[in-house]
Amino acid sequence: MIERYTLPEMGRVWSDQHKYELWCRVETLVLESHAAAGRVPGDVVEPVRNAPPPTPERVAEIEETTQHDVIAFLTAWADNTEPRSAAAYVHHGMTSSDLLDTALAVQLTDATDVLLAKADRLVAALRDHGLAHRSTIRVGRTHGVHAEPVVWGHRVADLAFAAARSRDRLRAAREAVGVVAISGAVGTYSLIDPAVETTVAEALGLRPADASTQVVLRDGISEWVSALAIIATVCEAIALEVRHGQRTEVRELSEAFGSGQKGSSAMPHKKNPIRSERIAGLARVVRAAIVPVMEGIPLWHERDISHSSTERVFLPDAAITTDYLLHLTAGLVENLVVDADRMRANLESTGGLIYTSSVLLELVEGGLSREDAYALVQTAAMETWNSGTPFRETLRARATSSGVTLDEARLEEICRPEQYVANLGPLFDRLAALS
């Protein structure tokens, strides 16, 4: 992922230098386990433990010849070991994927922990924003068309619960990828004691794989990437709400616009939802990782490496992009500008059409058939759409011509937006308890 969208903490998780540090750690843990069991000389452990990780540049230089990254790493690290002879016992009984998959599991769980912290921030921001606007009346829209009165906090609550569910899916996916496999060339422990795998897993705070055939089957990693894609898409849903709300003809919501900020090189008046649009664009990047990573599940027999190149690109990019998306989206919510007066004005702009559902039920409860009541209300509503005459006037005229008596006092009571949101108390209680 390009530096523009890479935050330092997540960038560090996926850096080549950190990867080689993890490889050194895994190899050292294996060596320590061998030494404790008497499989290798005990005096080789300390020189290996003290050997500094090789630089990415040195590994790349050796790989130009070996065309094998793990052998290049082992050679470069051996060059850093004093005495070099101690390095002869490094990678003892292992195959490349023992090292690669185990270190990758550490990267994936470390990346997940970074993401979970940011997801917690987003959930809290949505919760607090929703509670702050539990009484902010606005019009609800279905198909983009005015429907019934709602409160802005209700829409935010829906997004808050979605963000929390998405975070919890990621937490579950962490367990799926936190798997250690140190089982040898085809996963049969032919040259390594299974106890080594268990010992290393415990030291890393992970668990041994249920089974491996040199590689860990990629269903867990696919689950993890899918969890990231859902998080990214929930971020996009939040951003989409802001993008619609910031349109000139709506103007109910807007991103914070800083002093000195510019919206257009040509039009000085512009205040564009650039943060929300960036979120929408980057969510596509994360979703794009699902299929390539999932296609790493079916490999030839015990192993091929058709998954390897895919994962080198998509796993870091998906994690880095989701990290940036969570950061962007939390900031968007925390600084969101809400125009409650404009929300109210938009709600009233259709002349009362948003109350047709209550009027329909009132007429039915007054004795009309649903079909007759619907026809009366719809005819009046269409007249309001076409003429701009307030709905109560067209309704009154249509009722008179149909011989239907209206209870004006009752209509006054039900044609209030507060009537539509009176039952939302328990929802906001649940929102307040969200953590």
H or E segment at 20? Answer: helix 16-36
Query: Cis (ω within 30 of 0) for the bond into 83?
Result: yes
Active site residue 143: yes
Q: Count of CB atoms within 10 A of residue 88's CB? A: 15
Which residues are CB-neighbours of 113 under 8 A, at least 6 positions away? 174
* Cα–Cα distance measured from residue 177 to residue 217, given in angstroms and rounded to the nearest whole number: 10
Hey, what are 21's tokens?
């540090």
Hey, what are 177's tokens?
């990828």
* Cα–Cα distance measured from residue 236 to residue 284, given in angstroms and rounded to the nearest whole number: 9
Helices (H), 178-299: 194-204, 219-245, 274-287, 290-294
Which residues are CB-neighbours of 418 under 8 A, at least 6 positions away? 137, 149
Active site residue 308: no
Hey, what are 358's tokens?
């209550």
Q: Are 189 and 110 in contact (CB under 8 A)?
A: no
Q: Which residue is catalytic, options 85, 135, 264, 306? A: 264
* Cα–Cα distance measured from residue 14 to residue 227, given in angstroms and rounded to the nearest whole number: 19
Q: Are 389 and 352 in contact (CB under 8 A)?
A: no
CA angle 129, 279, 334 (to 5 degrees): 20
* Cα–Cα distance measured from residue 317 to residue 326, given in angstroms and rounded to the nearest whole number: 14
* Cα–Cα distance measured from residue 97 to residue 215, given in angstroms and rounded to the nearest whole number: 6
* Cα–Cα distance measured from residue 361 to residue 338, given in angstroms and rounded to the nearest whole number: 33
* Cα–Cα distance measured from residue 216 to residue 307, given in angstroms and rounded to the nearest whole number: 11
Residue 274 bridge partners (DSSP)? none
* Cα–Cα distance measured from residue 229 to residue 79, given in angstroms and rounded to the nearest whole number: 42
- Which residues are designated catalytic? 143, 264
